[in-house]
Structure formats: structure tokens, C-alpha cells
Structure 1
């Protein structure tokens, strides 16, 4: 190891890892996990039309090609060959923000297969579908062959300071627990997952909802700026300290 001019060992620098983190709808298989249901969920995930499609943002960068949803909307010549070559880069990993899964509409019903009247939802009215992380990791790795980093996952909850001065949020603990179990399933099946990041460390300004929705592990009193760790903060700290071994 080289020494610095002051006699101290020079710091070790790890090679940087470069990726990026899009998002988009992830469909889960409906009814069962048959090969046909999985294939249909994969197709729906990658063939969503419009600019929210995963393939719209990932195919040019990771595969060097124009995906079918983009070609339908903008034409096959949306990029010149030179532009596509510039976009196509050898990223080390693929980040992904995921909060819930989509599913096909049930025949004769206004509800999808993973939602129904009174089904579990977050304070954002998003369905609680823990398998979304598993299918996101599996489908993204299947298509793009990159390790996956979950860069956002979490829930808005109806949090407030209770009579004991604490903020109890068992729903958030359950939500994260279920999603981490789904992520562990992906790992156990051999899909490369390099990390998970909860959104967010503390309550903050949500870009579409202002301060009305609370995603944090730490409660923020917006009048005084007081911070109060929620029950989920202590629970998640233990998960980190044990590296998920006690999930």
C-alpha cells in the first residue's frame, strides 16, 4: 500500500459502479405462477404503451434498440444510428423504483386481479402487492442481464403522534417486511440483487402531494421541525444490523 506524504496510508478507492434508476409498471402473474401466466405478466410489463413503459427507457440504453411501444408511438427512426450508439452504454447495474404491481382486469369487473373493494392500500391509495419486488427483479434481470438495485420502495401511512408521544406504524413495518421477503425470494432463486433502499428516511415534500403524505421512517412535525423516529425506524435499524437474517 502506498503511503501519503504525511506518512499515512493512502485511502483505498473502489472502482465506481455506474447505473441509473427508471421506473414503470410491473405486472404480476394472475391466478397462479404457471409458465403461461408468468410469460403474460412479462409481456405486459415490457409492452406497456406510452412513455411510462420500462422498455421505453431501458431498451435503448441497455439493449441498443428501439422497443416496440416506442416505435408504435414515435416511429422506428426516433433515434439516428449515431444517437442510439451514444445511448447504448455498458451500465454496471440497473436501479428501479417500485411500490406496487399491476394486474390484468378481471372479466366482468371494474377491478384488477390484485385489487378489489376494500383491498389493502396505502395512504396514497396504492394497492399493497409485495410480490412486485420479486417480479421486478426477475423480469428486469431476465431482459437486461444486469444486477438490480431497488432504489425506492415504501409506503405512505396515516402517521401521527399518539398519546404516549410516539409514532406507531405497524402497517409500514408489515409492508416493508413483506417486500423484503419477496426480495429475498429473488435472491434465493439466483437473481442478482445488490441492494434495497427504503423511501424515505424521513417525512418530506412529495412531488405530487406536498406534505400531506408521510413515507418516512422518521416523523417530522412541520410546524416545529421536531423529528420523532417511528416504530418502523427501530425495526428497520435491526433489519440492517442483522442483514435481514431474522426476517
Structure 2
């Protein structure tokens, strides 16, 4: 056996990264609109004002999806496009845009997978404290209700948050992403709890309004790989470390802090011991709302955070990707290419949370350009995906219930603090003319979809 017959193959995008139309038709500002105007925060002073201009060119993009043969398209909604101040008044023009997009997808035979929040937090709510504010879970629940009432008759696949590790960790701990803050860990614990509660409340609101809803979320996980798969001790230690909580590194990056409450209704013991006193008063009463049956365990994986092995002393040890040595294969982003991580992370998450696995982002950045023959030859992406998907297929053969795979990304786009310095797309975008050129990888991926992942 390989992938299941009903395996879903798609591609993904995010609203601020592709839409443009940053203030069109009543849209309100987001924290990323603020970040892009903060000198020195985004490379070259780039902004998402126009980006790939998907807001005005979505019919062309849907036609390209059809040409590739995508079965599903994962996209996010811009909260301030729908509710300009994040709460209160609804911008009907924003809702209508997403309604037209959903209808266009369905008419083309592509299933929409909607992400409610992919980092473009309403600026007005940030000025009211954002995720620090105890009202933030209610704001997100109210926003969810507006959306599902408008789209829930046609959209059945829902993702609450995309990578809470990143929008809290990079946005509020490291300060590299919007809103560009650096909070103490006591504040971070509070924000983590409010984000989790927002997720739980959103899940319940989706169930209330959408018949047959399929719900999950997209977490960014500390993927790992091992040197010797037959060394059970090394494998066991790698899995244990993945789901432990330590004070080293970025607090918000650790996957169990997010997934254990969502699936089990409890925080990791070490997290509670170190930060329980910083959680909001009465947090225990929120855990039942945070825990909600999820239909799939969604995560985004690009490379291994750790490579485990047994050292010369016979002890289990690991090295991190920036120590992999000179000449180790890397993407344009300088992320190490570690295909086995997709196998091990899928196995570990399926074992722990017992929910079907949906890979909601996987891909690489390249320095891609249109060649003199008018085509975009990205052989590096085809090789990368062949390696990673081979490991996902191995996980499926070993019994992991792999439900879906989404390539990141459909289009070249605004890569957050890196601006337009990286190209992740299956489709090349000329940012001067906005011309779309499907890359060789798009046609390769088309054959993967047709063969259900058996052609490589």
C-alpha cells in the first residue's frame, strides 16, 4: 500500500502574502501593514500592498490550479478585510470576495480548505492588547461566526490558526515578525493560553454552523530525523524530546505546549511547573473548551530541527541544522534539506495524537527565474519534493493515516520579513508585470496528483 485512494493533493497560500489590495474596498489595516512600514523590519522595505495581486487576479489563479490538477486549495482569510477593526462592523465587500473565490473553486472541482487566521491580525485589536487581552478569544469566536455563517454552506474543511508557534514566537518573543514585539515569558504564557482558547471556541462555533465540518489546525513542529532508524533508543529519545518542554530556545516553538492542550486538554508538566503561575486566573476552567475533537492533525514541515545519533561514548546525542557542516545541501533560505524529517514527524504525531495527518505546508525557497525559452526550470524543487514525498509515502506504508498534502506554495509571494527575497511557488510571479508562469515543478506535481503519488 502507498497513499490512500482518497488522499487529498493541494497547494496552499496565505492572504497577506498573495492578495495585495491592502486597503481595497473597505479593508482595515493589519499588524503586517504596520510591520511593512517599520523601517528595517522587512528586507528592502518590501510590503504586501500589491504582492501577487490575487485579490484582483483570482480567476486567473483558479484557472492555473485547474491546469495543475489540484484537488484542494488551502487559503487564508484576511480578518481585517472581513472585519476592518477586528470586531463589530462587517465589511460585506470582503466577505463577497471570499464567497466569489469559493464559488470559483467549487465550479472548477477544487475543494476549498479555509484557514481562519494566518498572521494578519487586525491592527485595531493589537492596539487593544491583541492576544494579551482576555477578550481576544471572544473576538476570534465572533469573527469565526461571521465567516462560517457566510461560507459554511459551501466550505467544509476548516483550519483555525496557522502556526501559533510562529505568530506568538516570532511576533511576540523574537520580534522578527509582526507585531515585532519582545515580551517576557510571563506574557507569552498568557498569550499562548488565549490563543489556545480562541482555537477551541472557534472549533465549537464551526461545528455549530457547518454540517459535516472537518476541522484541524496547522502547527509548525520541531521536526527531527535519526541517523540509524534501527536504534530504538535513539528513536525513543527523539520522540520524547519532541513532546517535552524545556526552557531552552524560543518558548513558543515547542509543539507539545500547543498540541497537548488541543488534543488532551492539558499542558505539559514542565510547562505548568515553570509557567503555571503566569497563566490567566481560572485557566483550568478553560481546558475543556480548548480541547476539541479534531478531524486531522495538521502540521507544516520544512526541515529537521535536530538530527539524532549515538555518539562515540554510546550516548544519544543530536546536532542542529546550522551545525551540519560545510557543503550540506540547503535551500535558498539556507534551511537544511532533511527529507527524512517528514517521515519521522508524521510517525511521531500519529502515534501521539491518533488523528489523520495532514501536511498543510511543505516546500522550499529557490532563486527561480524565467529562462530564455520562456519557461521556469526549477529542477531543484522537483528533486526536493521527490525526496520529501518519498518519505511521506514511507510513513503511509508504515501505517500512518496520511490524509492530505499541500505544497507550499501555489504562487511566489511576499515572504514576511524576507520580503520578495525568496520564491516558494509552483508558479513564478513577475512582480513588475504580475505575469504568471507555471514552473516545471507545477507540471511535475500535476503528474504526482494524477498518479496519487506513485510516479516517483
Same fold per superposition (TM over 0.5): yes
When normalised by structure 2's length, the TM-score is 0.49
Which consecutive residues of structure 1, in runs of 5 or more, have no partner in the other structure? Answer: 1-10
C-alpha distance after superposition, 1:14-51 (max 9, x if no partner)? 72211111112112224443110101110221125321
Q: Of residues 291, 305, 313 in structure 2, which corresponds to 1:88?
A: 291
Residue pairs, 1:18-57, within 5 angstroms: 18-49=215-246, 50-57=251-258
Does structure 2 conserve the Cα–Cα contact (< 8 Å) formed by 1:105 and 1:112?
no
C-alpha distance after superposition, 1:48-68 (max 9, x if no partner)? 532111101100110111113
Q: Give the number of aligned pairs.
A: 235
Does structure 2 conserve the Cα–Cα contact (< 8 Å) formed by 1:30 and 1:103?
no
CA distance in 1, matches of 2:415, 2:273: 33
Map of 1:214 onto structure 2: 423
| Shift of residue 160, structure 1, vs aligned partner | 1.0
Say which is worse superposed, 183-192 or 156-165, in terms of deviation.
156-165
Query: RMSD value over aligned CA atoms?
Result: 2.4
Map of 2:452 onto structure 1: 243
- Quickly say closer, same or farther: Cα 1:208–1:236, change in 2 above 3 A: same
Decide which structure has greater strand share: 2
C-alpha distance after superposition, 1:180-224 (max 9, x if no partner)? 110100110111110100000110111221111000011010000
Q: Of residues 261, 264, 268 in structure 2, which corresponds to 1:63?
A: 264
Structure 1 ranges of 4+ moved more than 4 A: 104-108
Q: What is the DSSP-based 3-state SS (H/G/I as helix, E as strand, rest coil) of the residue aligned with 1:25?
A: coil
- Quickly say closer, same or farther: Cα 1:195–1:208, change in 2 above 3 A: same
Higher RCO, 1 or 2 (CA under 8 Å, sep at least 6)? 2
| Shift of residue 73, structure 1, vs aligned partner | 3.9
Does structure 1 conserve the Cα–Cα contact (< 8 Å) formed by 2:296 and 2:355?
yes
- Quickly say closer, same or farther: Cα 1:159–1:73, change in 2 above 3 A: farther
When normalised by structure 1's length, the TM-score is 0.87
CA distance in 2, matches of 1:165, 1:89: 49
Decide which structure has greater helix share: 2
CA distance in 1, matches of 2:274, 2:423: 36
Map of 2:67 onto structure 1: none
